[in-house]
Chains A and B, each alone.
Chain A
Amino acid sequence: MVQGLSNEPSGRVGGVDVETSDLAVSLRSLPNWAIALGAVVALVVFAQFSEFVAESLVIGATENAPLVLAALGFALLYRLTGLLNVAFAETITLGGYFAIWLTSSFSWGFATAVLPAGIMAGALSVVTYLLIFRVARNRNVDGLELIVISFGLALFLRHALQFVFGYNTRFFETPPPNTINVFGVGVPSFRLLAVASVAVLSILIYQFIRRTSYGLQIRALASNDGLAQASGVRPLTVTLLIWFVAGLAGGLAGAFYGVGSAVTPLLGSRQLLLILLVVLVGGIWDLLGVVYVGIATGIALTAMTLLFGSDLYAQLILILFFLAMLKVRGNKLTDGSKV
């Protein structure tokens, strides 16, 4: 249920009687996913009649699927541990590098390499937690200092990885992908794989957090650390699980970003601000809110890029819009993004 919406058909607002139509009441009583699905169906129908809408929708949803994946991973960490981990950008970058290493060293196809690359990124995410952030928590480092530590870790990883994978931009040596026609727009097969990954991972994470006992433990730990531990929740196992799943999502995003363009040391950090903004705005609702806002951001980015002829202008407008939201919503935006 979206905050601030009421099921009451009518009421008094500011001393004035307000009659609400039956249609509005019915819409408000719908779950978020149903409203989102309705919006997508409406756009799909509209896409049949407008080339611009079709291109925005198809390119936006497929090219920016890695953004949704990355935002989902980042949000998981942010909502459940309260840590705004800037070094998550480097998990994305390393996902790209791991995938390129697997394809070039073992002659694997991209589709085969993508999941192992994500798992490697997840493992790296766990290692950074154990070596850095857990030590920081144990030493009562918090707030501003913890963010600066994550900046330091990001800077270290971004440059240290160049001694391992090389300084130059790297490209996947995979055969040209098949192109599939969606609403008259050609989409490479790996982009559809990215969309499928977003869908599967979103559902899995959502179901995992909502339905499983581990998910319950994760939520308990995030809500009240002390009480959860007193109730028998093993904090280390649960926390490691959060870091692994977040890293996995980031690593997959990096692999998909990389195969769509190229892998460079700045691959993740270039996306960081957009990911942060999507997580803060989408996080007002829940993890699915992050997915919806991520998809909407991707489509808006593509639509504006098509309109203005420059993706930088599109990013500029989106950043300004999100910053305005930050001012209007204030701390509700950051508080709402945590459990």
Chain B
Amino acid sequence: MLDWLDAFLISGFFGVLQIIGLGLLVHLQMGLSRVANFGVAGFWGLGLYVFGVLYIKVDWPFGDPFQFLICAFLATVASGLAGLLVAWLIADLDVDGALVGTLGFATVVLILATTQTELTGGATGLGGMRFPYDLGPAKTNEFVWVLITTVLVGAILLYVRWVHRSPYGRLLIAVGTNEPLARSLGKSTTRAKLTLFATTSALMGLLGAMQGVMFRFLNPATITINITLAALAGLILGGITRVWGAVVGVLFTVGLFDIVIQFYAPLPQEWFTQAIPVAREAVFGAALVLVLLFRPKGLLGEMKRPQLMRRIHDFN
């Protein structure tokens, strides 16, 4: 039934979905409330490792799908708590302090993943995770997992849309635009930041757990800053303040390289081992610089809310 679908193409789609999910969450943090988070890989990686270690190392009295559900839940909670801790650390800091705090957290996660060899397998990695169902061939299981992840990312998109239209979203925009003013109006901006970080980091952890199931292997090389920068590049290209910014931007960046070029570009096979992956990162970097210099609002332009407010003012 799925003969038309290449196994690598499935993983390409999955990668795009993951980065879209992370980009949407970074949009809430940096696009709406303008709280810098350069430690996305840390929250995502924590979810991935907590899920993997619990799934493999703990002798659960029940099997899948409950084993998956419990482990994924605990991974989500762990990342959420870490988000709360990091938010507490950086809540009162300027962008430089937030950079150091979030980057420091991601480095701590990476060091723990590398050094705790008995739990994580260290640099060699740790395998043994399974899909929480068995529908037959591996390709079918992977395809269904991509569908489940699509639903999850769709739910995150709906959540982001809801935040944009809710009073909570207006508070986040106020935090990003003029925090002292929001505070002087009696709004608890610190609580808003803590809630935002805890929620978004928890969802990043859940995405990490989904990654663990798909690739069935833990490896510190997957939780480097490159994942943070891929999400940022996509988001900024699409439009950091727009709900659909991450979706559009990631399709043009990660989608272009991991699906279009990977499967449809008639390039020599040997380029795909090193030249294309290296060029991918270089292009992401160049995109970040060029977009922010020459089109800082991204492809989709300014946030819709100010446009709407302007129209209302013009009408009056």
Asked if B107 CB lies within 8 Å of chain A CBs, one says yes
Cβ-neighbour of B289 out of A156, A322, A330 (below 8 A) = A156
Asked if B278 CB lies within 8 Å of chain A CBs, one says yes
Cβ-neighbour of A152 out of B99, B107, B225, B292 (below 8 A) = B292
Asked if B233 CB lies within 8 Å of chain A CBs, one says yes
Q: B104–A144 contact, CB under 8 A?
A: no
A277 vs B100: C-alpha distance in the bound complex, in angstroms? 8
Cβ-neighbour of B292 out of A136, A313, A315, A327 (below 8 A) = A136
Q: A156–B107 contact, CB under 8 A?
A: no
Interfacial chain A residues near B81, Cβ < 8 Å = none
Cβ-neighbour of A154 out of B30, B36, B278, B285 (below 8 A) = B285
Interfacial chain B residues near A149, Cβ < 8 Å = 288-289, 292-293
Interface-located stretch among A159-167, A192-200, A211-219, A242-250: A159-167
How many CB-defined contacts (below 8 Å) exist between A and B?
A: 134
A sample of 8 cross-chain residue pairs with beta-carbon separation below 8 angstroms, ordered by A number, consists of A84-B96, A86-B99, A135-B293, A155-B285, A163-B279, A163-B282, A276-B103, A330-B97
Asked if B261 CB lies within 8 Å of chain A CBs, one says no
Query: How many A residues are at the interface, by size bracket?
Result: 35 or more
Interfacial chain B residues near A76, Cβ < 8 Å = none
Q: A residues 299-339 with Cβ under 8 Å of B?
A: 310, 312-313, 315-316, 319-320, 322-323, 326-327, 330-331, 333-335
Q: A312–B111 contact, CB under 8 A?
A: yes
Q: A residues 129-173 with Cβ under 8 Å of B?
A: 132, 135-136, 139, 141, 143-145, 147-149, 151-160, 162-163, 167
Asked if A227 CB lies within 8 Å of chain B CBs, one says no
Q: B296–A141 contact, CB under 8 A?
A: yes
Known: A310-B115, A319-B107. A151 touches B97 (CB 8 A): no
Determine the residue in chain A with the shortest Cβ distance to B103. Answer: A273
Interfacial chain B residues near A280, Cβ < 8 Å = 96, 100
A302 vs B229: C-alpha distance in the bound complex, in angstroms? 32
Asked if B112 CB lies within 8 Å of chain A CBs, one says yes
Known: A149-B292, A151-B229. A323 touches B101 (CB 8 A): yes
Asked if B92 CB lies within 8 Å of chain A CBs, one says yes
Given contact pairs A143-B95, A144-B95, A326-B93, a sample of 16 additional A-B residue pairs in the complex whose CB atoms are under 8 Å apart = A141-B296, A144-B30, A145-B292, A147-B36, A151-B285, A152-B284, A152-B286, A153-B289, A155-B226, A155-B284, A156-B288, A167-B274, A167-B278, A273-B100, A323-B105, A331-B92
Interfacial chain A residues near B289, Cβ < 8 Å = 132, 149, 152-153, 156
A49 vs B286: C-alpha distance in the bound complex, in angstroms? 55
A61 vs B193: C-alpha distance in the bound complex, in angstroms? 41
Interfacial chain B residues near A167, Cβ < 8 Å = 274, 278
Asked if B242 CB lies within 8 Å of chain A CBs, one says no
Interfacial chain A residues near B282, Cβ < 8 Å = 155-156, 159-160, 163
A291 vs B239: C-alpha distance in the bound complex, in angstroms? 41
* B-to-A contact residues, CB < 8 Å: 30, 34, 36, 38, 89, 92-97, 99-101, 103-105, 107-108, 111-112, 114-115, 225-226, 229, 232-233, 236, 274-275, 278-279, 281-282, 284-289, 292-293, 296
Whole-angstrom distance between the Cβ of A164 and the nearest chain B Cβ: 11
A155 vs B34: C-alpha distance in the bound complex, in angstroms? 22
Interfacial chain A residues near B274, Cβ < 8 Å = 162, 167
Interfacial chain B residues near A162, Cβ < 8 Å = 274, 278
Cβ-neighbour of A333 out of B97, B232, B285, B288 (below 8 A) = B97
Say whether chain A's binding surface is mostly helix, strand, loop, or mixed. Answer: helix
Q: A316–B285 contact, CB under 8 A?
A: no
Interfacial chain A residues near B233, Cβ < 8 Å = 152
Known: A147-B95, A158-B281, A312-B115. A319 touches B293 (CB 8 A): no
A145 vs B297: C-alpha distance in the bound complex, in angstroms? 11
Q: A residues 113-138 with Cβ under 8 Å of B?
A: 132, 135-136
Interfacial chain B residues near A330, Cβ < 8 Å = 92-93, 97
A139 vs B294: C-alpha distance in the bound complex, in angstroms? 9
Known: A139-B293, A153-B285, A312-B115. A273 touches B107 (CB 8 A): yes
Interfacial chain B residues near A135, Cβ < 8 Å = 293
Interfacial chain B residues near A145, Cβ < 8 Å = 292, 296
A315 vs B110: C-alpha distance in the bound complex, in angstroms? 11
Which of B96, B115, B232, B288 has the largest count of A CB atoms less than 10 A from its CB?
B96
Interfacial chain A residues near B287, Cβ < 8 Å = 152
Whole-angstrom distance between the Cβ of B111 and the nearest chain A Cβ: 5
Contact with B along A265-276 (1 / 0, CB 8 A): 000010011001
A13 vs B108: C-alpha distance in the bound complex, in angstroms? 40
A149 vs B225: C-alpha distance in the bound complex, in angstroms? 15
A320 vs B89: C-alpha distance in the bound complex, in angstroms? 12
A227 vs B284: C-alpha distance in the bound complex, in angstroms? 39
Whole-angstrom distance between the Cβ of B207 and the nearest chain A Cβ: 21
Q: B97–A334 contact, CB under 8 A?
A: yes
Interfacial chain A residues near B93, Cβ < 8 Å = 326, 330-331, 334
Q: B281–A316 contact, CB under 8 A?
A: no
Q: Identify the 6 closest CB pairs spanning chains A and B, nearest first.
A: A152-B288, A155-B285, A156-B285, A159-B282, A152-B289, A159-B281
A316 vs B38: C-alpha distance in the bound complex, in angstroms? 18
Determine the residue in chain A with the shortest Cβ distance to B290. Answer: A152
A143 vs B35: C-alpha distance in the bound complex, in angstroms? 11
Q: A84–B296 contact, CB under 8 A?
A: no
Determine the residue in chain A with the shortest Cβ distance to B30. Answer: A144
Cβ-neighbour of A141 out of B114, B286, B293 (below 8 A) = B293
Whole-angstrom distance between the Cβ of A9 and the nearest chain B Cβ: 36
Interfacial chain B residues near A163, Cβ < 8 Å = 275, 278-279, 282
